């Protein structure tokens, strides 16, 4: 039987874009998702779907019995930095402990490759930006630590077994499928661009800016915003790299340009044509002042070329998906 790719968290925001990218590339995705934040409707018809925890050995056994899995792309995780500060043990359970079980099943079943969703949060407050992969990891919140421990497990596993991995350190993932097929559907999302487009479409009453006294050009935090479809492409590129027998790799996936919170909000206002209320608030716990990627390694080693890095394009796609969600809700 032809080889399949297991996508954990495939019903979620990034995972649903990945599943589409795999189908577009002629691959065969299989999805596991516990639907805690994902949506069954985000998994395309015809894609095998298993509901449950990606760290459950019984569920993984059932998947591996049914489908020959060539690689696992592991998205299923909790991703909200302030939540990780208030509920650290939940983050270690869901992000670290579950990944350990998944890696063990992969090794036992002879799955040769894992592509792992890591995060720029492993750098903490980097000494210099743009940050490259050789800079020391020093996460400043439990979210970043919960992911960094998985990178270490993968590194040690690749030393001990015939197994290779790519750990992709995502910067701020945003936007939506350029063809309008999927997007970020989480209603109580906390991420900046999602919150701003919700404000622009009157789904929330304005928005807050968390911290205006950072040592940055306008006092608000600087982040690197990468389009979710470019991110999915980086996973396809990583898969090609591992299949070619090349060594395990850790790669930033970012656009390599930094935008402040105020700049992002201005773009959302301009592109949407809506001037929503913006309230200046205290800093949020766990936020570094500035995080911008060097993406030279992903470009050179994976052959990755981002196509939708422009913030206007990202915001246009995010707004279009927000309109789709609104229409769907109106139609019941």
Residues 13-42 binding ligand UDP (CB under 6 A) are none
* Closest distance of CB 295 from ligand UDP, Å: 17
Question: Binding ligand UDP by CB under 6 A: which of 5, 207, 232, 311?
Answer: 207
C-beta closer to ligand UDP: residue 11 or 209:
209
Is residue 208 part of the contact set for ligand UDP (CB under 6 A)? yes
> Counting contacts by CB under 6 A, is residue 223 touching ligand UDP?
yes
Residue among 287, 292, 316, 322 that touches ligand UDP (CB under 6 A): 287
CB of 284 to ligand UDP, least distance (A): 5
Among 191, 241, 259, 316, binds ligand UDP (CB under 6 A): 191
Residues 13, 123, 143, 225: which is the catalytic one?
143
# chain residues binding ligand UDP, by CB under 6 A:
15
- Cα separation, 225 vs 292, in Å, equals 9
Annotated catalytic residue 165: no
| Tokens coding 118 | 């890591």
Sequence-ordered alpha helix ranges (H) in 11-121: 13-24, 57-66, 81-86, 88-91, 98-108
| Nearest residue to 233 (alpha-carbon basis) of 16, 3, 17, 87 | 17
> Counting contacts by CB under 6 A, is residue 122 touching ligand UDP?
no
Pick 112 or 211: Cβ nearer ligand UDP: 211
Backbone φ and ψ of 124, nearest 5°: 65, -130
Tell me which residue has tokens 């934040």.
Answer: 37
Helix (H) or strand (E) holding 116: strand 113-119
**What SS3 class is residue 276?**
coil
Cβ closer to ligand UDP: 60 or 197?
197
C-alpha to C-alpha distance for 149 and 145, rounded to whole angstroms: 6
Would you tell me how many other CB atoms lie within 10 Å of the CB of residue 332?
4
Please identify which residue in 75, 210, 308, 321 interacts with ligand UDP, judged by CB under 6 A: 210
User: Which residue's structure tokens are 């402990």?
Assistant: 97
The per-residue DSSP string of 191-214 comes to: SHHHHHHHHHTTSSS-EEEE-S-S
Q: Is 225 among the residues that bind ligand UDP (CB under 6 A)?
A: no
Span 70-99, contacts to ligand UDP by CB under 6 A:
81
Contact call for residue 233 and ligand UDP (CB under 6 A) = no
Q: Distance between CA 195 and CA 137 in Å, rounded? A: 29
Nearer Cβ to ligand UDP, position 64 or 210?
A: 210
CA distance linking residue 275 with residue 253, whole number of Å:
32
Q: How far apart are CA 54 and CA 63, in angstroms?
A: 11
Burial of residue 26 (CB within 10 Å: 0-12, 13-18, 19+) is exposed
Minimum CB distance to ligand UDP smaller for 10 or for 211: 211
Of the candidate spans 38-46, 147-155, 191-199, 320-328, the one that interacts with ligand UDP by CB under 6 A turns out to be 191-199
Q: How many CB atoms are closer than 10 A to CB 320?
A: 17
Q: Judged by CB, which is closer to ligand UDP: 8, or 172? A: 172
Q: In this chain, which residue has its C-beta nearest to ligand UDP? A: 221
Q: Which residues are catalytic?
A: 143
Q: Which residues bind ligand UDP (CB under 6 A)?
A: 81, 172, 190-192, 195, 207-210, 221, 223, 261, 284, 287
């Amino acid at each position: 039987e032809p080889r399949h790719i297991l996508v954990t968290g495939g019903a979620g925001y990034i995972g649903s874009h990945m599943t589409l990218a795999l189908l577009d590339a002629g691959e065969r995705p299989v999805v596991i998702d516990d639907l805690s934040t994902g949506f069954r409707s985000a998994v395309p018809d015809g894609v095998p779907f298993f509901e449950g925890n990606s760290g459950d050995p019984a569920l993984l056994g059932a998947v591996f019995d049914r489908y020959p899995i060539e690689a696992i792309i592991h998205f299923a995780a909790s991703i909200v930095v302030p939540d990780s500060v208030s509920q650290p043990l939940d983050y270690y359970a869901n992000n670290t402990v579950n990944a350990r079980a998944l890696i063990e099943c992969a090794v036992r079943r002879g799955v040769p490759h894992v592509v792992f969703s890591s995060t720029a949060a492993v750098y903490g407050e980097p000494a210099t930006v743009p940050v490259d992969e050789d800079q020391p990891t020093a996460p400043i919140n439990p979210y970043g630590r919960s992911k960094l421990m998985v990178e270490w497990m993968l590194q040690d596993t690749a030393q001990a077994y015939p197994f290779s991995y790519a750990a992709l350190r995502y910067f701020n993932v945003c936007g939506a499928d350029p063809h309008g097929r999927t997007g970020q559907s989480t209603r109580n999302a906390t991420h900046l661009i999602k919150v701003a487009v919700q404000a622009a479409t009157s789904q929330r009453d304005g928005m807050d800016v968390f911290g205006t006294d950072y040592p940055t050009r306008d006092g608000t935090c600087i982040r690197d915003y990468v389009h979710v479809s470019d991110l999915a492409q980086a996973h396809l590129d990583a898969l090609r790299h591992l299949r070619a027998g090349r060594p395990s790799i850790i790669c930033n996936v970012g656009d390599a340009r930094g935008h402040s919170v105020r700049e992002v909000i201005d773009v959302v206002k301009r592109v949407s044509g809506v001037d929503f209320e913006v309230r200046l608030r205290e800093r949020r716990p766990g936020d570094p002042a500035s995080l911008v990627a060097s993406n030279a390694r992903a470009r050179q080693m994976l052959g990755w070329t981002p196509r939708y890095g422009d913030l206007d394009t990202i915001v246009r796609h995010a707004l279009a998906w927000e309109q789709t969600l609104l229409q769907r809700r109106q139609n019941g």
